[in-house]
Structure 1
Amino acid sequence: MVTIKDVAAKAGVNPSTVSRVLKDNASISQKTKEKVRGAMAELGYVPNVAAQMLASGLTYNIGVVFPPLLTPDRLSEPFFMQILTTITNEAKEQGFTVSIATGMTKDELEEQVKLMHLQKRVDGFIILYSDGKDLVRQYLMEQKTPFVIVGASDGFEREITYIDNDNQLMGKMALEYLYEKGHRAIQFITDDLDSEISEERYVGYVRGAGKLDLVSHPAQLFDSNDPVVLEELIDSIKENQTTGLIVIGDTVSVRLMQFLSFYQLNVPHDISIITFNNSTFSKLIHPYLTTFDINVNNLGRTSVRRLLQIIRTPKMVFSEKIIVPFLLKERESVRDLKKK
């Protein structure tokens, strides 16, 4: 069996250094950590988790909380699978495992998180949504349990760490991009009017429209299961002679394109779409979507690293808003009206 001493000899460091690397001690340089972890991988070293748990009091497991599954399509969003994969891989690199909390309703989700906490199955949580009235967040704050939120900041900014993109800036840039392509009648489409991310991006759209002296419209709901909502949407597009749509995400955009085609509205010839996430759906069918890459892998890695920092230094208070950069991917779904 490979021991810490074997790893230390291979890496050319002291056994105590290996122990500190296993605990991700901040006193050890990143270069040394990489060298020690490389030696572990080469020798096939597996830490004695039971001994570590006894010594540290940690479970070496973190909980990932998905949003309430209010709609059957929610888990099909590529964002959640991609960020979960990144979180799992990063946790593994740090010697942690991952457990998932899901629920069909807010109450079910709260009960699941409570159970995981009371049974001491996790050391902390990563919440993959932001909601100012969230019961899970409220419970974890009351219990002083470590957690971070991947999503827009919404209260308690001095007590909670948020990891997110600048969604207002993205909404503003989306409108400016359409404007540069000659579009003047532009609307904002979402599948959830109460979503924090949707609200942030809509605010950016409104501010951008104001600066460019364009008319901004109320956010339009797209719900493929509600005929009344769909009729209101198509009426609004026709009434306002809309040529450009800012759509909340790739999956919604794909469904919206199918809906528009039913009314003989072609993307991008008749109407242009710019969207967000740069998921696998963005290049699923033609036209490929012009979309913002929100850097999901960076969001996932950062959330794990910040959570473990909170877990390992319980006496310190961490509260910050970490902004992850984004990138616009120009593809086929926006027509340049300036070109004849």
Structure 2
Amino acid sequence: MVTIKDVAKRAGVNASTVSRVLKDSSAISQITKERVRQAMDDLGYVPNRAAQMLASGLTQCVGVVLPPLTTPDRVSEPFFMEILTAINDQAKQQGFTVSIATSNSVEDLAEQVKLMYRQKRADGFLILYSEKDDPVQHYLSSHNIPFVVVGTPIEADPNLISIDNDNQLMGEEAVKHLQRKGHKKLLFVTDDLTSRVCLDRYRGYQQAIEQLDLPVQPILLFDRKDPATLDLLIETIQREKITGLIVIGDLLSIRVIQFLSFYGLRVPDDLSLISFNNSIFSKMLHPYLTTFDINVAQLGQTSLIRLLDIIEDRQQPSTEVIVPFNLKERESVRDLYR
């Protein structure tokens, strides 16, 4: 069996240096790290995780808490698969593994998180949602367990680290983009009236509408199981002569486009549509969606790195980290000036 001493001899360093490289210590230069890792690859060295756990007290695993799966569409939302992939890839580079907690309720999620931590199956947690009075966050905070929230916190907390986009600014930019294309009567459509992401983006919509002196419309719910919400959407579009829709996500945008087609309304000929997330759905069907790329990979990577900083006691200011976004212009927005 290849040992740390064998790796050290091959790399021309001390065994203690190899141990520091395994922990990705910032005290070791990148050149030395690469030489040691090359020696590990050459010799086929596999770290003894059990020994590392005993020495460090860490499980070398992080828990990822998905939001409550309250709707069938949430299960199929590509955002979660994309960010899980990014988190897992970054964790693998750092020598960590990932465990997932998922359920239909925040209460059950909290019980899973408690069990995972008590059974030493996670050193810290990434929470992929933000809710008011969340029992998961409450448990982690009250027990001083490291965690990072992907999303904007509902309530201000000076001790919380969160990773997110500027969703309010995104909502503003959506309105301004449509206005530059000649659209003045705009509607904001969502499938979730309570999420922080939705509320922030709609707040941005409201601010831009007021700045541009355009007619403001109340946020509308699109719920396939509630015909009243669908009727209200069509009625509002027809009554207010809406020409532009801002829809909370790509998957819902596809459903809205399909729904509108039943009424003879085509995107972008009759209605323009702008969306968010730049997921696989944005280029699945024509018209390809004009949508905001929220840099999901960067959200996942940054959140994992910040969590490991806390776990490994590296200096980490409590703050909100904002990941940039950019607009992908495609087919679903029509320029009325042309």
- TM-score bracket, normalised by the shorter chain, equals over 0.9
1:63 aligns with 2:66: no
**Inter-partner Cα distance in structure 1 for 2:35 and 2:165:** 32
**TM-score, normalised with respect to structure 1:** 0.95
- Retained in 1: the 8 A contact 2:309–2:316? no
**Residue range with higher mean Cα deviation, 26-35 or 13-22:** 26-35
1:290 aligns with 2:298: no
Deviation readout 1:121-152 (Å, 9 max, x if unpaired) = 11000000111221111111111110000011
**Inter-partner Cα distance in structure 2 for 1:156 and 1:40:** 45
Number of the residue aligned with 2:112: 112
For the residue of structure 2 that corresponds to 1:273, the secondary structure is strand
Q: 1:189 to 1:145 in 2, by over 3 A?
A: same
Number of the residue aligned with 1:182: 182
Number of the residue aligned with 1:80: 80
Displacement of 1:63: 0.4
Displacement of 1:18: 2.0
What runs of 5+ residues in structure 1 fail to find an aligned partner? none
Number of the residue aligned with 2:323: 324
For the residue of structure 1 that corresponds to 2:72, the secondary structure is coil
Q: 1:3 to 1:330 in 2, by over 3 A?
A: same
- Retained in 2: the 8 A contact 1:157–1:320? no
1:204 aligns with 2:207: no
**Inter-partner Cα distance in structure 2 for 1:205 and 1:33:** 48
**Inter-partner Cα distance in structure 2 for 1:279 and 1:121:** 31
**Inter-partner Cα distance in structure 1 for 2:34 and 2:219:** 48
**Residue range with higher mean Cα deviation, 246-255 or 4-13:** 4-13
Q: Percent identity?
A: 61
Kindly provide the amino acid, as one letter, of the partner of residue 323 in structure 1.
I
Q: 1:44 to 1:234 in 2, by over 3 A?
A: farther
1:252 aligns with 2:252: yes
Number of the residue aligned with 1:21: 21
Q: 1:88 to 1:106 in 2, by over 3 A?
A: same
For the residue of structure 2 that corresponds to 1:216, the secondary structure is coil
Number of the residue aligned with 1:280: 280
**Inter-partner Cα distance in structure 2 for 1:173 and 1:38:** 47
**Inter-partner Cα distance in structure 2 for 1:264 and 1:22:** 61
- Retained in 2: the 8 A contact 1:248–1:275? yes
Number of the residue aligned with 1:166: 166
**Inter-partner Cα distance in structure 1 for 2:187 and 2:35:** 52
What runs of 5+ residues in structure 2 fail to find an aligned partner? none
Displacement of 1:117: 1.7
**Inter-partner Cα distance in structure 2 for 1:257 and 1:329:** 18
- Retained in 2: the 8 A contact 1:189–1:219? yes
**Inter-partner Cα distance in structure 2 for 1:155 and 1:176:** 28
**Inter-partner Cα distance in structure 1 for 2:248 and 2:42:** 45
**Inter-partner Cα distance in structure 1 for 2:225 and 2:42:** 53
**TM-score, normalised with respect to structure 2:** 0.96
Displacement of 1:229: 1.0
Q: 1:273 to 1:53 in 2, by over 3 A?
A: same
- Retained in 1: the 8 A contact 2:127–2:150? yes
Kindly provide the amino acid, as one letter, of the partner of residue 97 in structure 2.
T
Number of the residue aligned with 1:334: 333
Displacement of 1:61: 0.7
Q: 1:185 to 1:250 in 2, by over 3 A?
A: same
For the residue of structure 1 that corresponds to 2:86, the secondary structure is helix
Kindly provide the amino acid, as one letter, of the partner of residue 50 in structure 1.
A
Number of the residue aligned with 1:263: 263
1:191 aligns with 2:175: no
Kindly provide the amino acid, as one letter, of the partner of residue 300 in structure 1.
G
**Inter-partner Cα distance in structure 1 for 2:298 and 2:171:** 20
Kindly provide the amino acid, as one letter, of the partner of residue 59 in structure 1.
T
Q: 1:27 to 1:258 in 2, by over 3 A?
A: same
Displacement of 1:42: 4.5
**Inter-partner Cα distance in structure 2 for 1:114 and 1:191:** 31
Number of the residue aligned with 1:103: 103
Displacement of 1:233: 1.3
Kindly provide the amino acid, as one letter, of the partner of residue 98 in structure 2.
V
Displacement of 1:244: 0.5
**Residue range with higher mean Cα deviation, 147-156 or 202-211:** 147-156
**Inter-partner Cα distance in structure 2 for 1:244 and 1:60:** 48
Number of the residue aligned with 2:140: 140
Q: 1:216 to 1:97 in 2, by over 3 A?
A: same
Kindly provide the amino acid, as one letter, of the partner of residue 186 in structure 1.
L
Q: 1:170 to 1:113 in 2, by over 3 A?
A: same
Q: How does 1:213-228 map to 2 (within 5 A)?
A: 213-228=213-228
- Retained in 1: the 8 A contact 2:278–2:294? yes
Length, aligned pairs only: 338
Kindly provide the amino acid, as one letter, of the partner of residue 166 in structure 2.
D
Kindly provide the amino acid, as one letter, of the partner of residue 216 in structure 2.
S
